[in-house]
């Protein structure tokens, strides 16, 4: 019981913006709106909202590795792709009966995480840091994209799952929950919406607890001054590797959900544009804070989609302009900057009132 | 048994022989000062002891154990601790968080908070605890980092220019703090240019020159040594 209490106390702390009854009141309202929203909307719009939610996990992965850990990974899409393809290969081979899609969901994320263990081990214990970490991770995701793009021939298959080259894999079953009577199939509307919303809230709160724990302290310490962190007795490469693997698993969640949502996955999900976009969402929102990342990602994604209606190339140019403006005006992120400003304003008002 | 023993330690940076067959022995409980002109290899020697650099040849023994090939963090676990020349604080974090990160592996919960408060009081940084460490004055950063270094309760504390940027009063206070820690049993090896500080705390002094041990003795012996005056003190007084 006391362990549980101390766990929940870590929901607030120096590593996460937002505390006290006002913040959690707002959180509850947003959550209530989120839960009630499908009742007032149509299946297509709800499915589209799920699409936004799906990307938040990969944004959180970058927030963790880059914002908190200080290591810029340009290749989170590699883990996205591995998990996405992993889910496709597993479910196309074994089907969706007996809750197998849920097993495939977990297994695909584990595969992505194991790949991160391997890659991360060589990077961190090989002392690759700074811009070189970005270059290596980008190279890995582009390499995977190129590799998958040339798998069009019939010889490229795993079991009964054809990899299909540039066209990608499709027709894998959506997530299916076994249920007495009839299994619940989570198509890309209300069913999947609640599944992803639940997962998102769980991951967000779990990451808040993690970042405000002693583990989170060390991660932030490594970002601030790796030499000092090591000279306090922390095996920093171990901590960096663990963070990288957690991040890969988060990117993997995005990959699996994306595949299950649209029932397809293509190599371009690991390409240059796909790799660059999460960086923009996270930088614009505020990479060093979980809440800013979630809010920023959702806002930018929605704006991006609205712009795409008028022309997708303009939308990408707009993304670039947005990134430049963020770096110039609020290098720590627009949402985080706004939240800090509001916090200071509130403090000043209470001071004046008191 | 000696606490730290350097045996014929060598380090080259390209053609530059920065550490040239250095032998140095530290007895438990002593305050030892390392002096020498700029470029003498003092900081390099610290980095060798800490495992940030690896010697070309020679051995490092700590409390009888050969630690020459141990990783840095493992050496810290054996009982080494350091304050760097350029204050290595976590600039973006609050003063309190800096100390929390240093103390959290030894203490938890309410005990951790109490320990942080105690250390804040000891360092005289109580009123600055919510301040971002990067905003502290240079002297305060030095104190904060010393606080982080001593919070590990090390057997050997390495101080690289602990009083750089401090006023004479602050320097004197730092000296008193070092003596107090020493009285509690901490062995100290300090690199220092401030001869007032060296005179205040040092029980033994080693002069490093061009990567070699040039002279060793009490501060009075060192000051009386004309060869030392020629290479170092002479320059300082000129």
- The domain limits of chain A are 7-353
Q: Where are the alpha helices (DSSP H) in chain B?
A: 42-50, 72-78, 95-103, 109-123, 138-150, 168-183, 195-201, 219-224, 226-228, 234-237
Please indicate whether residue B120 or residue B231 has the higher confidence score (pLDDT): B120
Separation of alpha carbons A139 and B70, rounded Å:
33
Residue to substitute from A231, A340, A347, interface B, most B β-carbons within 10 A: A231
Given a cut of 50, whether residue A221 has pLDDT beyond it is yes
Interface test with A, best of B52, B53, B89, B102 (most A CBs within 10 A): B102
Nearest CB to B152 within list A14, A225, A232:
A232
Taking the C-alpha atoms of residue A56 and residue A119, their distance in angstroms, rounded to an integer, is: 23
CB pairs under 8 A between A and B: 63
Distance, CA of B198 to CA of B33 (rounded, Å): 7
Chain-centre distance of CA B65, in angstroms? 20
- Residue A225 has a pLDDT of 95
The backbone region for A180, taken as left when phi is positive above 0, alpha when psi lies in -120 to 50, beta otherwise, is beta
pLDDT at B29 over 60: yes
Per-residue confidence (pLDDT) for residue A126, from 0 to 100: 92
Identify which of A214, A225, A236 has the shortest CB distance to residue B90: A225
Q: Cβ of B152 and A236 within 8 Å? A: no
Write down the mean pLDDT value for chain B: 91
Chain A residues with CB under 8 Å of B97 CB are 14, 217
User: With 90 as the cut, is the pLDDT of residue B224 above it?
Assistant: no
Q: Do B88 and A228 touch (CB under 8 A)?
A: yes
- Please name the member of A6, A214, A230 whose beta carbon is closest to the beta carbon of B72: A230
Q: How far is B80 from chain A (nearest CA, A)?
A: 9
Strand duo B187-191 + B156-160: pairing: parallel
Q: How far is CA A64 from CA A45, A99, A210, A251, A319, in A?
A: 30, 31, 10, 11, 22
Write out pLDDT tens, residues A260-286: 999 999 999 999 999 999 999 999 999
CA distance A245 to A253: 12
pLDDT on residue B139: 86
Cβ pair B78, B16 in contact under 8 A: no
* Secondary structure (3-state) at B112: helix
- The answer, yes or no, to whether residue A1 has pLDDT greater than 70, is no
Mutation choice for B interface testing from A2, A228, A347 by most B CBs within 10 A: A228
Which of A299-303, A344-348, B76-80 comes out lowest in average pLDDT?
A344-348
Residue contact B88–A14, C-beta within 8 A:
no
Nearest to B101 among A221, A230, A236 (CB): A221
What is residue B90's DSSP assignment?
Answer: -
Give the torsion through C-alpha atoms of B181, B84, A243, A7, to 10 deg.
Answer: 30
Fold of B27-53+71-89+138-237: Rossmann fold (3.40.50)
Considering chain B, tell me which residue range(s) the CATH 3.40.50.300 domain(s) occupy.
27-53+71-89+138-237
Map tokens 């309760």 to a residue.
B153
User: Do residue A233 and residue B94 have CB atoms under 8 angstroms apart?
Assistant: no
pLDDT of B234 reads 53
| Mean pLDDT value of segment A280-298 | 94
Round the CA-based radius of gyration of chain A to a whole number and report it: 21
What average pLDDT does chain A have? Answer: 93
In angstroms, the CA B63 to CA B2 distance is 6
Q: Which residues of A touch B71 (CB under 8 A)?
A: 235
Chain B partners of A231 at a C-beta cutoff of 8 Å? 50, 72-73, 76, 81-82, 84, 88
Q: Distance, in angstroms, between B46 CA and closest chain A CA? A: 12
Per-residue confidence (pLDDT) for residue A48, from 0 to 100: 93
Residues in chain B with CB shorter than 8 Å from the CB of A332 are none
CATH code of the domain made up of A7-353: 1.10.3470
Asked if residue A181 has pLDDT above 90, the reply is no
pLDDT at A3: 79
| B48-68 average pLDDT score | 95
Top mean-pLDDT range of A102-116, A146-160, A333-347: A102-116
B contacts of A220 (beta carbons < 8 Å): 90, 92-93
**CB within 8 Å of A259: residues ≥ 6 apart:** A83, A84, A85, A87, A88, A172, A265
Mean per-residue pLDDT, A24-47: 94
Q: Which of B53, B96, B104, B111 to probe by mutation at the A interface, max A CB count within 10 Å?
A: B104
C-alpha–C-alpha distance, residues B117 and B112, integer Å: 9
**Residue numbers in B near A6 (CB within 8 A):** 109
Total residue length of chain B:
238
Distances (CA, A) of B226 to A47, A289, B41, B66, B197: 85, 60, 21, 36, 21
Looking at the predicted structure, is the pLDDT value of residue B235 above 60?
Answer: no
Q: Are A297 and A281 in contact, with CB atoms under 8 Å apart?
A: yes
Q: What is the pLDDT, as a whole number, of residue B237?
A: 46
pLDDT for residue A310 is more than 80: no
pLDDT score for B34: 94
| Chain A residue closest in CA terms to B85 | A228
CB contact under 8 A, B73 and A233: yes
Nearest CA in chain B to A216: B101
The per-residue pLDDT for A282 is 94
The span from the CA of A337 to the CA of A17, in Å, is 11
- List residues in chain B touching A: CB distance below 8 A: 50, 52, 71-73, 76-77, 81-82, 84, 88-94, 97, 100-102, 104-105, 109, 145, 148, 152
Which of A214, A221, A230 is opposite residue B73, by nearest beta carbon? A230
Q: What is the pLDDT of residue B76?
A: 96
| Of residues B235 and B44, more confidently modeled | B44
Between A354 and A144, name the one with better pLDDT: A144
The C-alpha atoms of residue A50 and residue A104 are separated, in whole angstroms, by 20
Q: What is the ipTM of this complex?
A: 0.92
Please indicate whether, in this complex, the C-beta atoms of A233 and B152 are within 8 angstroms of each other: yes
pLDDT value of residue B232: 66
């Amino acid at each position: 019981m006391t362990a549980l209490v101390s766990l929940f106390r870590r929901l607030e702390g120096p590593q996460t913006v937002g505390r006290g009854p006002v913040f959690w009141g707002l959180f509850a309202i947003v959550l209530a709106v989120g839960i009630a929203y499908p009742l007032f909307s149509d299946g297509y719009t709800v499915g589209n909202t799920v699409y936004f939610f799906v990307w938040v996990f990969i944004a959180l992965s970058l927030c963790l590795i880059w914002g908190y850990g200080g290591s810029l990974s340009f290749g989170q899409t590699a883990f996205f792709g591995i998990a996405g393809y992993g889910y496709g290969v597993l479910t196309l081979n074994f089907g969706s009966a007996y809750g197998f899609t849920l097993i495939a969901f977990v297994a695909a994320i584990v595969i992505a995480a194991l790949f991160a263990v391997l890659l991360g081990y060589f990077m961190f214990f090989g002392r690759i840091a700074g811009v070189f970490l970005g270059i290596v991770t980008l190279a890995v995701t582009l390499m995977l994209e190129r590799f998958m793009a040339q798998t069009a021939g019939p010889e490229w298959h795993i079991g009964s799952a054809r990899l299909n080259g540039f066209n990608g894999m499709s027709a894998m079953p959506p997530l299916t929950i076994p249920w007495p009577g009839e299994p619940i199939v989570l198509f890309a509307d209300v069913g999947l919406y609640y599944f992803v919303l639940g997962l998102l809230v769980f991951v967000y709160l779990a990451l808040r607890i993690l970042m405000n724990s002693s583990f989170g302290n060390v991660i932030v310490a490594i970002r601030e001054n790796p030499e000092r962190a090591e000279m306090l007795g922390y095996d920093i490469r171990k901590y960096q590797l663990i963070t990288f693997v957690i991040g890969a698993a988060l990117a993997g969640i995005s990959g699996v959900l994306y595949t299950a949502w649209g029932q397809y996955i293509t190599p371009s999900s690991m390409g240059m544009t796909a790799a660059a976009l999460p960086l923009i969402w996270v930088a614009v929102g505020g990479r060093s804070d979980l809440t800013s990342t979630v809010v920023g990602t959702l806002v930018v994604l929605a704006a991006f989609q609205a712009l795409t209606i008028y022309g997708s190339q303009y939308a990408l140019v707009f993304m670039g302009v947005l990134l430049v403006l963020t770096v110039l005006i609020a290098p720590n992120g627009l949402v985080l900057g706004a939240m800090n400003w509001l916090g200071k304003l509130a403090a000043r008002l209470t001071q004046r009132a008191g | 048994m000696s606490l730290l023993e350097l045996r014929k330690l060598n380090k080259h940076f390209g053609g530059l022989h920065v550490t040239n067959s250095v032998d140095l022995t530290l007895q438990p409980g002593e305050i030892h000062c390392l002096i020498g002109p700029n470029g003498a290899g003092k900081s390099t020697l610290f980095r060798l002891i800490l495992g940030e650099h690896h010697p070309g040849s020679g051995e490092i023994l700590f409390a009888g154990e050969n630690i020459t090939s141990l990783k840095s963090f493992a050496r810290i676990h054996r009982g080494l601790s350091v304050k760097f020349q350029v204050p290595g604080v976590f600039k973006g974090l609050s003063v309190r968080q800096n100390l929390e990160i240093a103390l959290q592996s030894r203490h938890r919960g309410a005990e951790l908070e109490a320990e942080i408060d105690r250390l804040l009081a000891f360092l005289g940084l109580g009123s600055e605890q919510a301040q971002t460490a990067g905003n502290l004055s240079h002297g305060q950063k030095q104190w904060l980092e010393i606080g982080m270094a001593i919070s590990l309760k090390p057997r050997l504390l390495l101080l690289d220019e602990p009083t750089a940027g401090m006023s004479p009063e602050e320097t004197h206070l730092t000296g008193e703090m070092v003596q107090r820690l020493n009285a509690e049993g901490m062995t100290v090896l300090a690199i220092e240019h401030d001869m007032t500080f060296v005179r205040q705390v040092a029980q033994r002094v080693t002069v490093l020159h061009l990567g070699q041990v040039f002279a060793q003795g009490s501060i009075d012996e060192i000051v009386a040594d004309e060869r030392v005056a020629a290479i170092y003190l002479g320059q300082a007084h000129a």
